[in-house]
Amino acid sequence: MNHAAKGIALLLMLALSNANSAISPESSTSTAITQAQSSVNKSEPEKESFSEFYNAFSTAIDKNDWRSLADLTHFPFIFQGQLDMEGKISIEKDEFVKLMPLFLEKETFINIDGDMFPTTYRVIAVTPLEESTRVYGEEADIHDFHFSIVNGHWRLVRVVTDLSNVKHVNYKII
């Protein structure tokens, strides 16, 4: 419910409560306001935290559940080159499901406190949140994985990588 609709609902419930309190003196205006706000807020779904989303994301990868991973991803999905001149590759859900098991096993390097360490994209994707996450508003990064809120839900939106890691798939350069 948007803010205007919440306000209207709150005013209507307050007006009804005031009408009832004229009949029943034991009702108080503050109780009516609290009840009205509680009723309005219950209709709004709770926002999913990034931590809740990330738990589902890393579990899908850990269990090799590529369809569940795809459900947590925004499409078209973007593989973005590490350099601006490399461009971006866009893929759809079916290609994503085929590609991710291979892509996650690719070796990459991460920078931790100025030192470079070899790892795989799978290891990065299931790294505990405290170690490498930056959440800012409706976006989050875990090394090369980028997430955003899309239609009210956290989604994987792109990975920054050496595009030679994904050039063998059917894709659209954007």
Write down the mean pLDDT value for the chain. 77
* Alpha-carbon distances of 110 from 70, 90, 97, rounded to whole Å: 25, 24, 25
Q: Which of 59, 55, 53 is nearest to 73 (CA)?
A: 53
Same domain assignment for residues 22 and 98: no
CA-CA distance, 163 to 79, in Å (whole number)?
7
Same domain assignment for residues 28 and 60: no
Q: Give pLDDT, residue 68.
A: 97
Same domain assignment for residues 36 and 70: no
Residues 23-44: tens digit of each pLDDT: 444 444 445 444 545 544 455 5
Same domain assignment for residues 87 and 106: yes
pLDDT band at 5 (very low <50, low <70, confident <90, very high): very low
Number of domains making up the chain: 2
* Alpha-carbon distances of 1 from 5, 7, 33, 57, 155, rounded to whole Å: 6, 10, 18, 28, 22
Which residues are within 8 A (CB) of 73 and not within 5 positions of it... i.e. 6 or more apart? Answer: 93, 96, 155, 156, 157
Asked whether residue 131 carries a pLDDT value surpassing 70, the answer given is: no
Q: What are phi and psi of 35, to 5 degrees?
A: -65, -40
Mean pLDDT of 68-94: 93
Same domain assignment for residues 22 and 55: no
pLDDT band at 145 (very low <50, low <70, confident <90, very high): very high
Range scoring the smallest mean pLDDT among 3-17, 19-33, 69-83, 120-134: 3-17
Q: Give pLDDT, residue 83.
A: 85
Paired with 147 in beta bridges are 140, 156
Cβ burial of 137 (10 Å; 0-12, 13-18, 19+) is exposed
Q: Domain limits at 142?
A: 50-173
- The CATH number of whichever domain residue 122 belongs to comes to 3.10.450
In this structure, the dihedral spanned by the alpha carbons of residues 56, 107, 90 and 170, taken in order and rounded to 10 degrees, is -110
CA-CA distance, 7 to 126, in Å (whole number)?
42
Residues 149-164: tens digit of each pLDDT: 999 999 999 999 988 8
Residues 60-78: tens digit of each pLDDT: 999 999 999 999 999 999 9
Judge if pTM exceeds 0.85.
no
Same domain assignment for residues 149 and 71: yes
Same domain assignment for residues 90 and 17: no
Q: Give pLDDT, residue 46.
A: 65
Same domain assignment for residues 55 and 77: yes
Same domain assignment for residues 131 and 151: yes
Q: Give pLDDT, residue 2.
A: 43
pLDDT band at 127 (very low <50, low <70, confident <90, very high): confident
pLDDT band at 9 (very low <50, low <70, confident <90, very high): very low
Same domain assignment for residues 81 and 130: yes
Question: What ranges in 24-128 are assigned the alpha helix state H?
Answer: 29-42, 50-62, 66-71, 93-103, 121-125
Same domain assignment for residues 76 and 56: yes
Same domain assignment for residues 152 and 100: yes
Largest CA distance in the chain: 75
